Structure 1
Amino acid sequence: MAQSPSTRLGDKGRKITLIQAIGYSIALRAPTASMALNTSLAASMAGRAVPLVMLGSLVGVILMALPFIKFTRRYVHAGSIYNFNSHVLGSSTGFVSGWVLLLSYLGFAFGGIALIGDFGQALLSQLGLNIPWGPIALVGTGIVYLMITREIKISTTVALTLEGLSVLAMIILSVVIVGRGGAAHHLTALPFVPASGMWKGVAFAMVFGFLSYFGFDVAATIGEETHNPRRNIPIAILANLVLAGILYVFVSYAQTIGFGVTAEGIKTFAGTGAPLGLLADRYVGSAMGVGIDIGAVFSGFAATMAAMQAASRLLFALGRDGVLPQSLGTVSAKSGAPVRSISVVVIVGLMVMLVPSIWGTSAANMFGYVGTVGVLGFLVSYGLTSIADMVNESRTGTNKGLKVGLAILALLIILYTLYANLYPVPPMPYMLFPYLTAAWILAGVILMMQKPTLKDDINRALAAHERQIDL
């Protein structure tokens, strides 16, 4: 029997293309916003070695992405690893995987609200208007809500267009900086060599490197809404990472030499909340600075749209399967979007992000807080997926030694990054975030224990969904 339209994503006429799926993944990562904010945070910990952080993070993330590429060739589900890991490790582990991934997507979605406020405030400041970031984020998030409750083809096209324009401006600025040799007027390899005693800082800064890449898996959440998903989703994941790696290493190198590899230059780099705008003013002129700020606002909008869509679709999947209230597992007959799930994400996000703004907490700090929680959630969920990959390859794979070895290497990178967030103890409030992530996991376990039939319900729902997808 075909699935009821009220609980089925992606009617035949609403499917998106491969290019739109790649754009959706790119939009969630918000390349311009990442390079306008994460690099400064990384510089505060790794010094001049920000490009090395981006390169090292890319290698680690590619290893983490391999299981997703393999699993998405077989499974199509809005719940992403909630589905993958349930098939390999059992529904209990699958549920925990999806539950932690939901925390990550919520962290990114909430961080997107901060991005809109931060870059919107910077842009208006350039125009002589001093407005707190909270009201800007509120209005911007309202616009995002109106967009993502429409057909996904519309919102993904808008997100891709906005992000494409902002990335173009960032590339032009980076080419100018590199062409002039940066602050020292000559190119140097020092950004790829940490200063003495900075290796620990590089390891901790990889959190912000991962933050720039994480979300590569988001394409899996829209598999049900994509043409030929078993082919196009793996391609979207891989293309997303390759393009991001080239862009991030180049732009972060341009930023580092643009400020200069001296102690004073790195201090300025680490202390600014809008490095791209500052560099644009310095190397091109104020008009380019305004253009970069506009691009950053576009990037913030695109990232927020994609992250809220991802979080809402995972909520939708958990509601559809009876894990969470089933009202979350319905879609709009008009647009095909899970409007109720979207509404929950937006309302909770605004409450979490805007209340601290009343106390004077900056948008950049709020982005760092929720982004770190999101990364920790990704590390846990990706770690479970690496374990699922090891188990799956040991059972059925060929070249088992190599494939299991790669999965183990990915898991070791994940465990080391988690360790670096625990010891040495990071400053407040970052020291609290690993325990907040653990509390979220515990809440999921308690939720599962309170419903003894949950495992059987999940297994039945996933089996029924798989039959419907193959019809």
Structure 2
Amino acid sequence: MTTSQEKPASAPTSRRLQGGVLTIPNAIALSAAAMAPVLAVVLNAPAAASAAGGALPLSFLIAFIAAALVGNTVVQFSRRLPSAGSFYTFNSQGLGPAAGFFTGWLFWIGYAVLAPGLFTAFGAFVQDYVSSTFGVQIQWWIFSLAAMAIILGLSLRSIKASVNLDLALLSIEVVIFLILGVVAVSTAGTGNTGSVFLPSFAPTGFTGVGLGVVFGLLSFIGFDAAATLGEETRNPKRNIPLAIIGALGAVGTFYVFMMYALTAGYRVNDSAHMAAFLKDTSPFVTLAQHVAPWIVQPIEIAAIFGIFSCFLAIHNTTVRVMFSMGRDKVLPSSLGGVHPRWFSPDRAIYAQTAFTVIIGLAVGVWLGPGATGAYGFTGAIGTVAIVIVYILSNIALIRYFWRRADRKVFTHVIVPILGVIALAYPLYSVSTPGQAWPYNLVPFVVLIWVVAGVILFLRYRAKSPEKIAALGSFIAEDDLPLDEQPESLLAARAPSLQHPTVKEEVENTPEVEERR
């Protein structure tokens, strides 16, 4: 028996988030808020409708299925490797340290760059609302900075308070839009038709439906956010998968219903109404003005709530990825620290806040703060980076389970292959040459980021190979039996295992004997 003086060194508490403080509803709230369901239907529905036409519900239904294929990968990995690093940890274990490094590199910028766009969009939406409602002109960046200050305080003080606020705002905004949807469907009369789930209802058939799927998939970006709470959620191997399934199911059902309500309420089965529908840049506002004028202003407020809750969720997700990479010393190690009292990744929070404000103000002034300016540009960059990560994770799942005794052909091979196929077209559509300015810059921005990552990776491999070897080694439950622990986790804990007493105990365990 060891004394307190002889107790072996272990991972310092400053490198661990507070475990067991979150529940399934908390984790669902983060994923659902990151998807921003109300914001997605307000901004992505018009873009998708221009291609999919009356088959808009079909496009979102197919996107829902495609997102579920990727969701399977997150669920399967979360049952084995719950971690704040999410895909960074998953791909490190499934494809090796090099793939893990580039996953973290892309995943980090993919989420980090979404925040400046949401920063500007919030200010722009509130500015327009205040101007139209009260006749007062206030600069957008004042509202953006105020929102950032609130988010900074919430993320520092309590992840639980943050996700509870996300849940409250989500409930309000979703209920408002569901009321609009129910009213639209109940008053649609002959507009209610199952034909909207047929490709023939799209102006260009399957091609139009396919383009609509692209925007539908963009609406699901962020569903994986709950995976970054793997170290802070009770019983993460059970609850994180349930949260991801719950968030995907609830938001996916919401999308399909709202798209159906839009086409039914608009009565797109009438050729004249279809022509107007294809040209409408704000179809939900138009729908509300026709079927329920009294709900127009609540819809505007719901959109503001949706942006804020998404902003808060994306911020909390990003800082946990930064924290995980800082903990592994891929990013500056100071980012891997935890506040001694609040157990929040405070250094990562400050860094992401500074990044959001600086980039947000710069891009907002350059392109304008609205949906077609900074928000759209940064969103496109983030989408390309994140979709690449999703594709890599599907491949990682196949490799991770390939030689395992618990491998299931359908779950661990067929479904991830289908996921890769489902994501290939949206990735091509977003990054293909010939996009309008500034979206034609998106592939080059991502490429420059990848090149910077290659340089950093080669530098680490040459001068600090131990950093690469330990990538993704932290998981939520490192008290697993030795035969269930990832090899990189055992390597990361090697210094503590060299203590004479612990070394002797470990070397005499049945697991080690069996490995010999």
TM-score above 0.5, yes or no: yes
CA 342–206 in structure 1, closer or farther in 2 if over 3 Å, else same:
farther
Q: Deviations over 1:226-272 (max 9, x none)?
A: 11000000111111111111100111222233344334422443x23
CA 289–62 in structure 1, closer or farther in 2 if over 3 Å, else same:
same
Q: In the aligned structure 1, how far is the partner of 2:292 from the partner of 2:346?
A: 43
Give the structure 2 partner of residue 303 of structure 1. 310
Q: In the aligned structure 1, how far is the partner of 2:300 from the partner of 2:29?
A: 21
Which amino acid in structure 2 is aligned with residue 460 of structure 1?
A
Q: In the aligned structure 2, how far is the partner of 1:425 from the partner of 1:200?
A: 18
Would you say the 8 A contact 1:115–1:367 is kept in 2? yes
Would you say the 8 A contact 1:322–1:458 is kept in 2? no
Would you say the 8 A contact 1:149–1:337 is kept in 2? yes
Give the structure 2 partner of residue 112 of structure 1. 118
Q: Deviations over 1:176-198 (max 9, x none)?
A: 0111117xx53133433343425
Q: Deviations over 1:407-456 (max 9, x none)?
A: 21111122222223344733332232123222222221211111125553
Residues 34-43 or 415-424, more deviating: 415-424
Give the structure 1 partner of residue 470 of structure 2. 460
Which amino acid in structure 2 is aligned with residue 208 of structure 1?
F
Match of 2:17 among 9, 14, 30: 9
Q: In the aligned structure 1, how far is the partner of 2:366 from the partner of 2:408?
A: 56
Say if 2:247 is the partner of 1:240.
yes
Shift of the alpha carbon at 1:400? 2.5
Q: In the aligned structure 1, how far is the partner of 2:262 from the partner of 2:127?
A: 22
Q: In the aligned structure 2, how far is the partner of 1:63 from the partner of 1:415?
A: 13
Give the structure 1 partner of residue 73 of structure 2. 67
Q: In the aligned structure 2, how far is the partner of 1:367 from the partner of 1:418?
A: 18
Residues 306-315 or 255-264, more deviating: 255-264
Give the structure 2 partner of residue 188 of structure 1. 193
Residues 442-451 or 250-259, more deviating: 250-259
Say if 2:264 is the partner of 1:253.
no
Give the structure 1 partner of residue 428 of structure 2. 419
Would you say the 8 A contact 1:133–1:363 is kept in 2? no
Give the structure 2 partner of residue 89 of structure 1. 95
Equivalent residue runs for 1:322-361 within 5 Å: 322-359=329-366, 361=368
Match of 1:265 among 258, 268, 276: 276
Shift of the alpha carbon at 1:2? 4.3
Match of 1:284 among 292, 301, 319: 292
Q: In the aligned structure 1, how far is the partner of 2:307 from the partner of 2:11?
A: 35
Which runs of structure 1 show a deviation greater than 6 angstroms over 4 or more consecutive aligned residues? Answer: none
Would you say the 8 A contact 1:123–1:290 is kept in 2? no
Q: In the aligned structure 1, how far is the partner of 2:452 from the partner of 2:208?
A: 32
Give the structure 1 partner of residue 390 of structure 2. 382
CA 137–208 in structure 1, closer or farther in 2 if over 3 Å, else same:
farther
Would you say the 8 A contact 2:380–2:430 is kept in 1? no
Q: In the aligned structure 1, how far is the partner of 2:255 from the partner of 2:472?
A: 37
Give the structure 2 partner of residue 400 of structure 1. 409
CA 122–49 in structure 1, closer or farther in 2 if over 3 Å, else same:
farther
Shift of the alpha carbon at 1:401? 6.1
CA 278–263 in structure 1, closer or farther in 2 if over 3 Å, else same:
closer
Which amino acid in structure 2 is aligned with residue 154 of structure 1?
A
Q: Deviations over 1:345-387 (max 9, x none)?
A: 2222222222243356241112222222222112100111111
Shift of the alpha carbon at 1:78? 0.9
CA 197–85 in structure 1, closer or farther in 2 if over 3 Å, else same:
same
Give the structure 2 partner of residue 128 of structure 1. 134
Say if 2:267 is the partner of 1:225.
no
Match of 2:173 among 158, 166, 170: 166
CA 48–179 in structure 1, closer or farther in 2 if over 3 Å, else same:
same
CA 352–321 in structure 1, closer or farther in 2 if over 3 Å, else same:
same
Shift of the alpha carbon at 1:5? 2.8
Shift of the alpha carbon at 1:278? 4.1
Q: In the aligned structure 2, how far is the partner of 1:467 from the partner of 1:164?
A: 32
Q: Secondary structure at the match of 2:174?
A: helix
For these two proteins, the number of residue pairs brought into alignment is 463
Q: In the aligned structure 2, how far is the partner of 1:363 from the partner of 1:454?
A: 43
Structure of greater Rg:
2
Q: In the aligned structure 2, how far is the partner of 1:135 from the partner of 1:198?
A: 45
Residues 409-418 or 197-206, more deviating: 197-206
Would you say the 8 A contact 1:104–1:378 is kept in 2? yes
CA 333–137 in structure 1, closer or farther in 2 if over 3 Å, else same:
same
CA 35–462 in structure 1, closer or farther in 2 if over 3 Å, else same:
closer
Would you say the 8 A contact 1:149–1:335 is kept in 2? yes
Give the structure 1 partner of residue 440 of structure 2. 431
Q: Secondary structure at the match of 2:340?
A: coil
Say if 2:213 is the partner of 1:206.
yes
Shift of the alpha carbon at 1:405? 2.2
Q: Which consecutive residues of structure 2, in runs of 5 or more, have no partner in the other structure?
A: 1-8, 482-516
Residues 61-70 or 141-150, more deviating: 141-150
Q: Secondary structure at the match of 1:337?
A: coil
Which amino acid in structure 1 is aligned with residue 387 of structure 2?
L
When the two chains are superposed, the root-mean-square deviation of aligned CA atoms in Å is: 2.4
Would you say the 8 A contact 1:25–1:215 is kept in 2? yes
CA 107–199 in structure 1, closer or farther in 2 if over 3 Å, else same:
farther
Residues 290-299 or 316-325, more deviating: 290-299
Shift of the alpha carbon at 1:52? 2.0
Q: Which consecutive residues of structure 1, in runs of 5 or more, have no partner in the other structure?
A: none
Q: Deviations over 1:53-96 (max 9, x none)?
A: 21111111111111111110011211111111111211110111
Q: Secondary structure at the match of 2:219?
A: helix
Q: In the aligned structure 1, how far is the partner of 2:291 from the partner of 2:216?
A: 25
- Matched residues, percent identical? 33
CA 26–466 in structure 1, closer or farther in 2 if over 3 Å, else same:
closer
